[in-house]
Every structure is written in structure tokens, then in C-alpha cells.
Amino acid sequence: MRGRLEERPPLGLGGDGAPSHRTPHSPDPSLPSPSRRPGERGAPTKAALRWSEKAFRLDIPTPWSQDEASFLPRQPAMRIVLISPKGPLYRHRGGIFKKSLRYMPLTLTTLASLVPAELEAEVRLIDEGIEEVNSAAIAAIEADLVGLTVITGTAPRSYDLASRFRERGIPVVLGGPHVTLIPEDAQAHADAIVTGYAEESWPELLRDFAAGRLRPRYDQRPGLSLAGLPFPRRDLLPRKRFITDNVFEATRGCIHKCDFCVVPAAWGQKPYQKPVEDVIADIRQMKAHKLIFVDLNLISDRDYAAELFTALIPLKVQWYGLSTVLLGDDARLLSLAEKSGCKGILMGLESISRQNLRDSKKGFNSPERYKELVATLHRHGIALQGCFVFGLDHDTPEIFLETARFAVEAKIDLPRFAVVTPFPGTALYHRLEREGRILTRNWELYDGQHVVFQPSQMSVEQLQQGIETAWKHAYSAPSIWKRLRASPSPLPVRLGTNLGYRFYAHNLHRFYNCDWILGLGRERNAA
């Protein structure tokens, strides 16, 4: 065991594991008198007193009295540092995620809220997407335990950070989507890994750690409930660095099983829900007026969605979230979404090819009805961010312009284009691996921006270049004008978002490329 707390004796025992001979209230008479304050001649040093203060609580023998130690501010029994590591895109400075586009994620704040109170832990959150953490700063981080959240694109950075902490004897816990997808990849880089949702396993891990019995792996158990959880500790991240901290989560998971999607691969098809009253209570205590739901498919369970939307109506909020295209067919839910303040929705339209959709097990998307879908959403005052992926097996070099033209004609408010990414652990990854088409396992490149597999009907370079063509067409001045006129969003929002994406479209080469395939990868990675 590597942890400092692990080296401490269990409560009620002395340093050697034997019962303590001297109580904390009976200091050794040969030691300085309790009346001397720190800093006075002959008084104990601050460091010694800090240790004493901790030791008293753990009932470990110390040369100082409890009175002496109490002159100092109370020290936490455990220092936990939770880090969201940067990736090639998600980092402070550079990349597309400048402050204006970033909302506060819930991962670290949720984990912080789950730390059991009896551990009296001090929790520090570090989000590398909003602050630069250089090597010196990392070396200066003091912690008893470090937790890192890992998505595939940030796995190399996470493993690098983990090794630096472990070299210093600080135990490291890894969790998150990538760890859940391929635990065997993460295990060697951590003292403990956590798979699945951690509402029960993270507190259990922390209690085990405090008791000196940390296990190497904690899995989500069946029957997890999201009821009655504490609100995320949003106060622990600097609010001003984000566009908003009014970020909420009502559900987890999705009932569908699209073959490229991380959700069914990592968490299965069972939807999890927070009781509607818990979600509403969180929104109320945040006094949120405009809010974002990060749920990957808010309408997995339509009755739950109807209950949530109905409960949102009296709050008079405006909200943005994600759902499948199936929302467009559900008149009852659409009307409730509108009444509850839904102003924008992100949908995975994925492809204009039926064959692609069928092969990806997303046959419930009907490209021939996308135009009708946009019109329906607009009638309800809802703008659509429509996401397409390129590189599926039926895509030919013509697909890029065809899709971009379609997106403009359909008047999709904000079309987005990405490379299909076979995240490890997904059905798509397994198929491409069987077919010998995975080109790299450098996880840093698994970010939806880099081509990491051999496309079936075009070259890697054509795929990379084609995406740029699609972005530029969709965000050309005439295309923006056509789409802008149909959008239900307020003019400043319509203009701001379109101009932001236009800038992105014309600077794609700065954000992603296939240098690694062309032999320039090392330079890029070193940057």
C-alpha cells in the first residue's frame, strides 16, 4: 500500500499498532508547556502542531497537547485532489474551447459532493480545460489521494499525470468513460480504478482508503439509485471561467444501441433517473434561468421526460439539451418541451445515408424526414444543433458537399460535422479491429477530430479534407444567411453562434489534422 493514510494506524491504536500509552491530554512533562504559542521560544513548530492536531483526532501519541495544537487552523484529515486532465482540444488556451464556448461539466463537482462528511476531507478540483497546470504546479500539488477523470482523448495525459503523482507516493484513482470502456487499459496506471457510475463506489473507496484497505478495482453494482443525492459542489470550481455553471443532469444512459456510441458500450441500455423533485430542487437552489442538461438522451424514458418538462414549466426557465430525433414525432412531448422553455436541442442526425444509419443500428433516424423535423422544431421555437459524422462505410468522396448542402437546405440552425470515432470498447471498434482497419491506438487522437481508422471508400486524407469542405460550405456567408432567416433563436444568439462556427470552419487546420499519419505526429504531440 502506498497511501499515507494507509500507513497510519487504524483509529484507537498507536503508531506501532499497539494501544496508545499516553492520552492526547497528558503530554510528556519534559516537552514545552501548552501555554507557549507557536512562534514563541521553545514552542513547537507549526508543522509539528499540524501533525499533532491530526494525530489527536486519530488518537496517535504526540509530544504536544491538544490545546497547543488547537492554536492552529483545523487541518483536514484527508486531502483529495480531483483533476479533469486536458486533451488536444479541451485545454486552457488554444483549441476551440475558448471560455465563451465552455460550460461547467458535472464530473468533478459531482464526485466532490459524494465525499463522505465523516472523512473531514478537503477537496480541491482542478480542471485543466480552464487553467494551465504546468509541471512545477503538478509537482507542488499536495494530496493524500488524487482522482482523475478519464475520457479516451485525455487518457494519455491522465496516465502521465498518474505516474507523476505515484512516483511521489501519492495514490491515484482513475474513473470515467474510458476506464469503464476498457478497464484493463487503465488498471496499470492506477492504485485503484472505478468503473461505471460512482455514486456508491466512490464513497466506498474513500472509506476503504481511510481505513487502509484500498482495493485495486471498484465496479458499479446493480441496482444503483440516483435518488436523494447531494447537489454537485459547483462552488469548488471558479464560476467566472465558464460561460455558465447552470448545468444539470436528470438522467443517465440511453435505451438505444448505436454501434459507434460510448453510452451502451460503457453503461448498458438501462436508463437511470434522478427523481424529478431532486432535479427541480437543484435548479431552484442555483436560481437558474438559463440552463443546460448534459443528459445524452433526455427522452430515453418518455414518461419521465414528460414529468420533468411539466415540472419545469412553473420555473419559467430556458433550457438546452440533447435528445434523439424521435422527439419530433411526439406531439405531446414537443408541446411540453416548448412550454417548459426548451430553446435548443442537440440531435445526432449522423448521416444522410439510410444504409449508414441501418448499419450503425440507428435506423430510427430517417434522413428523408429531417427537413420536416427542423420545421417542426422551429414551429415550437426550438433551434436544432444537428450533428453529422463522416467516414461510415457507405460514405464516398461526394458525401461531404451533399451533406453540407442538405444541412443548409433543411435550415438546420447549427450543423456540425465530425469524423466517426471508433471509441475503444464500442461495437464499431470491435468490428474495425476484426477487419484490421484500426490505424492507431494513440488514444489522444480519439477525439472526434482525427481519422484513426481506414475508411472503406476513400483515403484518410480525403476524409480529413472532406470534413473541412463540409464546414466551409455550411458556414459560408450565403449558407449562414439562408439558415439564419429560418432560425427561431434571438438574432444575437443566431449571429454569435454562426460567426463562432464560421471562425472554427476556417481554422480547422489549426485544430485537427492527420499529421500523425503523414509522419509529423511527434512534433504535434510534443507541442
* Other CB atoms within 10 A of residue 212 CB: 14
| Cα–Cα dist 469/401, whole Å | 7
| Cα–Cα dist 396/219, whole Å | 42
Exactly one of 250, 258, 283, 445 binds ligand SF4 (CB under 6 A); that residue is 258
Decide: 181 and 424 in contact? Cβ < 8 Å: yes
Closest approach of ligand SF4 to the CB of residue 345, in Å: 13
Decide: 159 and 136 in contact? Cβ < 8 Å: no
The length of the chain is 527
455 counts as binding ligand B12 under rule CB under 6 A: no
Instruction: Identify which of residues 171 and 344 has a Cβ nearer to ligand SF4 in the complex.
Output: 344
Closest approach of ligand SF4 to the CB of residue 218, in Å: 25
177 counts as binding ligand B12 under rule CB under 6 A: yes
Q: Which of residues 55-94 bind ligand B12 (CB under 6 A)?
A: 84, 87-90
| Cα–Cα dist 128/132, whole Å | 6
Decide: 38 and 44 in contact? Cβ < 8 Å: yes
C-alpha cell at 158: 491522465
Exactly one of 149, 300, 365, 489 binds ligand B12 (CB under 6 A); that residue is 149
Instruction: Name the segment binding ligand SF4 (CB under 6 A); options: 223-231, 258-266, 444-452, 492-500.
Output: 258-266
Closest approach of ligand SF4 to the CB of residue 426, in Å: 10
431 counts as binding ligand SF4 under rule CB under 6 A: no
Residue 234 identity (one-letter amino acid): R
Cα 138-143-149 angle, rounded to 5 deg = 70
| Cα–Cα dist 162/171, whole Å | 8
Q: Which of residues 259-288 bind ligand SF4 (CB under 6 A)?
A: 261, 263-264
Instruction: Name the segment binding ligand SF4 (CB under 6 A); options: 253-261, 372-380, 390-398, 514-522.
Output: 253-261
* Other CB atoms within 10 A of residue 93 CB: 8
| Cα–Cα dist 344/460, whole Å | 33
C-alpha cell at 375: 420545421
- The CA dihedral of 329, 331, 333, 337, to the nearest 10 degrees, is 100
Instruction: Lay out the site mask for ligand SF4 across 328-367 (x = CB under 6 A, - = otherwise).
Output: --------------------x-------------x-----
186 counts as binding ligand B12 under rule CB under 6 A: no
Class of residue 302 by CB neighbours under 10 A (exposed 0-12, middle 13-18, buried 19+) = middle
| Cα–Cα dist 335/253, whole Å | 24
Instruction: Name the segment binding ligand B12 (CB under 6 A); options: 17-25, 66-74, 175-183, 497-505.
Output: 175-183
Exactly one of 36, 256, 371, 378 binds ligand SF4 (CB under 6 A); that residue is 256
Instruction: Name the segment binding ligand B12 (CB under 6 A); options: 33-41, 101-109, 162-170, 235-243.
Output: 101-109
Q: Which of residues 292-321 bind ligand B12 (CB under 6 A)?
A: 294, 296
Could you list the residues that contact ligand B12 (CB under 6 A)? 84, 87-90, 97, 105-107, 110-111, 129, 147-149, 151-154, 173, 175-178, 181, 194, 197-199, 202, 249, 262-263, 294, 296, 418, 423, 447-449
Q: Return residues touching ligand SF4 (CB under 6 A).
A: 254, 256-258, 261, 263-264, 296-297, 324, 348, 362
